[in-house]
A = this chain, B = another copy of it.
């Protein structure tokens, strides 16, 4: 059996594991990213954690390391100016891991890694053309066409979270206005909740929350709260409109949704699907599947990163 190592680097924690080609995770570890202000210390810590498994299973049977990281660039293997990471500037991640582990190392951003994982082991298995959308704190995406990840000329393709969903809309962390992620993310839906609470006078259980989080909106929807349902409808509208525009560009077989907001299930899927179809050019209508990720949320990051080794 051949093995790969999948590492998902996050601002707070990093998870890593040993994965076989069938997608079985044989071992899994978590490190606190923030504990390692020096990238070399972080890599040494990864090595200390993973090396016993590598030796046990046999170094020769390891095909490589795949890393998903914020602002990870596939072409040069570096992390470039990632705002949520403790390491600043340009970090030549692939080169550093390769040197330490003596294994081929591939880097990409987390949403692209998620797309690879979904293509290899999840909802997009066997698909050549699909869009992966991660609805977390922000919105990430990975576009696959002709069976290949679209990295673009500079390795930074697939920023669906930063298409302008609403012209002159909400201010975004990127310095512009109206980006999709200011609406269709876990933080975006909370902003919508505050907007709705401010604009309307209707009753809502959300008025009782001191500090609304996205889960509260889901819980309220579960109780049939009208305002919570309207908040999901609005969020699905913005997301569905943007997905319809993306479909006009790559005409995918499916769009796979993943992440915190996707966990709201029908509350987000139904309006998104409805408005997506309403906004599609006729030739695309009723063709594009809107799917939920099929990877366990806890496994997805490691599986996605490890898939980079095989694809």
Of the residues B158, B251, B282, B283, contact of A249 by C-beta under 8 Å: B158
Q: How many copies of this chain are found per oligomer? A: 2
Q: Does A296 contact B (CB under 8 A)?
A: no
Known: A128-B153, A148-B146, A150-B145. A281 touches B248 (CB 8 A): no
Q: Number of contacting residues on A, CB 8 A?
A: 43
Q: Give the residues in chain B near A145, CB-CB below 8 Å.
A: 145-146, 148, 150, 152, 157
Q: Give the residues in chain B near A270, CB-CB below 8 Å.
A: none
Q: Give the residues in chain B near A248, CB-CB below 8 Å.
A: 159-160, 162-163
Known: A249-B157, A252-B152. A281 touches B162 (CB 8 A): yes
**Is B156 a contact partner of A283 (Cβ separation < 8 A)?**
yes
Of the residues B160, B164, B246, B251, contact of A279 by C-beta under 8 Å: B164
**Is B174 a contact partner of A282 (Cβ separation < 8 A)?**
yes
Residue of B nearest to A244 (CB): B164
Q: Does A207 contact B (CB under 8 A)?
A: no
Interface mask (A252-271 → B, CB under 8 Å = 1, otherwise 0) = 11000000000000000000
Q: Does A143 contact B (CB under 8 A)?
A: yes
Q: Does A250 contact B (CB under 8 A)?
A: yes
Known: A145-B145, A164-B241. A152 touches B281 (CB 8 A): no
Q: Give the residues in chain B near A157, CB-CB below 8 Å.
A: 129, 145, 249-251
A170, chain B: closest CB distance, angstroms = 15
**Is A175 a contact partner of B279 (Cβ separation < 8 A)?**
no
Q: Give the residues in chain B near A160, CB-CB below 8 Å.
A: 248-249
Provide 22 A-B residue pairs closer than 8 Å at the C-beta atoms, listed in order of the A residue. A127-B153, A129-B153, A143-B249, A145-B146, A145-B148, A145-B157, A146-B146, A150-B150, A150-B249, A153-B253, A154-B287, A156-B251, A157-B250, A157-B251, A158-B249, A162-B281, A163-B245, A163-B248, A163-B249, A166-B167, A176-B279, A176-B281
Q: Which residues of A contact B (CB under 8 A)?
A: 127-129, 143, 145-146, 148, 150-160, 162-164, 166-167, 174-176, 241, 244-246, 248-253, 279, 281-284, 287-288
**Additional 12 contacts, C-beta under 8 A, given A143-B249, A159-B283, A163-B248:** A129-B157, A143-B250, A145-B146, A150-B251, A152-B252, A153-B288, A155-B251, A156-B284, A157-B249, A160-B248, A249-B249, A249-B250
